[in-house]
Chain A
Amino acid sequence: GAGVSQSPSNKVTEKGKDVELRCDPISGHTALYWYRQSLGQGLEFLIYFQGNSAPDKSGLPSDRFSAERTGGSVSTLTIQRTQQEDSAVYLCASSLVGSVHEQYFGPGTRLTVT
């Protein structure tokens, strides 16, 4: 079946602009994660959605970052007033219920803030 998809694959934006990144998880996966990966760095947890529960936002680096998940499926990560340090690859992953199941990653969105 289809894997996790993300769009756009690449996004170049000017400093100060807002951007929206989209994630389509695997059908039936109720858990969805967003990560940020800076060049040559590890995976930085941003936010986690599980079903209809309140999301775990503990990894969001500032109030410029927000995410929502509509209908328990598609998720959108929004970065307002982008800064150059926001440049990174943003990865989305989904899994079955709970954190003891394999996460399937999307291909990522490479964000460049000029």
Chain B
Amino acid sequence: GENVEQHPSTLSVQEGDSAVIKCTYSDSASNYFPWYKQELGKRPQLIIDIRSNVGEKKDQRIAVTLNKTAKHFSLHITETQPEDSAVYFCAASLNTGNQFYFGTGTSLTVIP
């Protein structure tokens, strides 16, 4: 089955700096890669996703890149703000399967 690894597990950045979170996956058939943000005590919410037919997607300060050959994808947050502090989860899924495979999460702290 699919195996998703996520790094780093914790990340601290100064406000205004960029943050990068990386994930790798094992099944080359995976074709959908969402990123979820979970604030303390709240439910995970989708912040951005990418499908395997594109290499990069951007939404304001957030961008995701996908390298299908290397089987890795990354979340980039620019001009970080304190409200970006949360746990971020990557995931991978196959359109022929039933499961989302989640990474173990990255706890991001943005220091004012």
Contacts and interface: CB of A to CB of B under 8 A. Distances in A.
Interface of A: 31, 33, 41-43, 45, 48, 50, 56, 59, 91, 98-100, 102-108
B42 A99 contact: no
Q: Chain A interface secondary structure, helix, strand, loop or mixed?
A: loop
B43 A91 contact: yes
Interface in B74-105: 89, 93-95, 97-105
A102 B43 CA distance: 14
B32 A99 contact: yes
B46 A103 contact: yes
A99 B105 contact: no
Contact of B89 (A43, A98, A102, A106): A43
Given A33-B100, A41-B105, A100-B93, 4 more contacts: A43-B105, A45-B101, A100-B32, A102-B49
A99 B93 contact: yes
Nearest to A95: B100
29 contacts: A41-B104, A41-B105, A42-B89, A42-B103, A43-B44, A43-B89, A43-B105, A45-B100, A45-B102, A48-B98, A48-B99, A56-B99, A59-B99, A91-B43, A91-B44, A99-B32, A99-B93, A99-B94, A99-B100, A100-B31, A100-B95, A102-B34, A102-B46, A102-B49, A103-B34, A103-B100, A104-B46, A107-B42, A107-B43
